[in-house]
Amino acid sequence: MSHVLIADDDKDLVEGLRWYLEAEGFEVSCANDGNSALAEFRRNRPDVVILDIMMPGVDGMGVCEHIRRESDAYVMMLSARDGEIDKVRALSIGADDYLTKPFHISELVARVKALLRRGRTCAVEEPSSYQWKDLKVLVDERRVMVKGANVELTGMEFGLLVTLMRRPSVVLSREELIRAVWGGDFYGETRLVDNHIYHLREKLAGAGLGTVPIVTVRGVGYAFRPET
C-alpha cells in the first residue's frame, strides 16, 4: 500500500483529500504546517508528498528542499497562485508536479497514481547503466555522475534523462516523454516537460559536462544525440 503525506494549512481540504485518497486505497498521513510536515515525513517515509506552498512555519518550498536532501519521494506542490515563477521555482528545487487551486480531487488522485506508476515502469527491463563521455547514469542506484561526481536530479529529471538516453538520436515528443515518465494518466500541461528539460540541462552543464547533447527539435520534442 502506497503512503501519501498531505501538508496544507486548510484543514477542510486536508480532510477531504485524506478521505478521498483512503477510499482509493492509499495510506495517508496529514500535517497543517511545515514543521509538522517534516516530522510526519521522517516518521512515515511516504511515497508521495502533497505540499501547499503557503504554510505556517517552514513553507512548502522549504519543506520540499529538506525532503530532496533526504529522499527521492515524489513531491506535488499546491498553490492558490497561478504564477509561472512559483511553478518554475518549485520544479527547480525538486518538485515533480505542480497543481493550482482550485482543482478537482479526482485530478489530484489521478496525478498521484501516475507518479507511482511511473516509478514502477522505469524499473522494467532497464539496463544497469548508460554512459556518454563524462556522463554516467546508474539506473538501479538512481545516480547520475559527471566526471565521477554525483549530480543531484529530481525524480522527473532522472526519468527524462534515462528515457532520452535509452533511445539515442530518436526525437521524442512531449506527449511520448510524458507517457514514459509520468504515466498515461497525466493531467497537466505538456510545457512542464520544457521546465524539467531546462533544469536538467542546467544541472549537467553546471556539473562540468560542457555541451549537453539534449537537443530541442522545434515543433516536435527532444532527443539525446550522442554525436553532438
Write the CA distances from 140 to 106, 122, 124, integer angstroms.
Answer: 32, 10, 11
Phi-psi region of 81 (alpha: psi -120 to 50; beta: other; left: phi over 0): beta
Between strands 3-7 and 172-173, the pairing is unpaired
**106 and 153 assigned to the same domain:** no
- Among the candidates 121, 147, 170, a domain finishes at 121
Q: Which of 16-20, 80-84, 114-118, 223-227 has the lowest mean pLDDT?
A: 80-84
pLDDT at 72 (0 to 100): 82
**107 and 202 assigned to the same domain:** no
Domain with 142 in it: 129-224
Running DSSP on this structure, what letter comes out for residue 152?
A: -
Which residues, in sequence order, are CB contacts of 17 under 8 Å at separation 6+?
Answer: 6, 8, 28, 50, 105, 108
Mean pLDDT on 138-158: 91
Which residues, in sequence order, are CB contacts of 120 under 8 Å at separation 6+?
Answer: none
CATH number at residue 89: 3.40.50.2300
Task: State the amino acid at position 158 in one-letter form.
Answer: F
**134 and 187 assigned to the same domain:** yes
**46 and 152 assigned to the same domain:** no
**98 and 16 assigned to the same domain:** yes
**40 and 148 assigned to the same domain:** no
**117 and 92 assigned to the same domain:** yes
pLDDT at 147 (0 to 100): 94
Centre a 10 Å sphere on the Cβ of residue 126 and count the other Cβ atoms it contains.
13
How many structural domains compose the chain? 2
- Among the candidates 121, 149, 175, a domain finishes at 121
pLDDT at 122 (0 to 100): 38
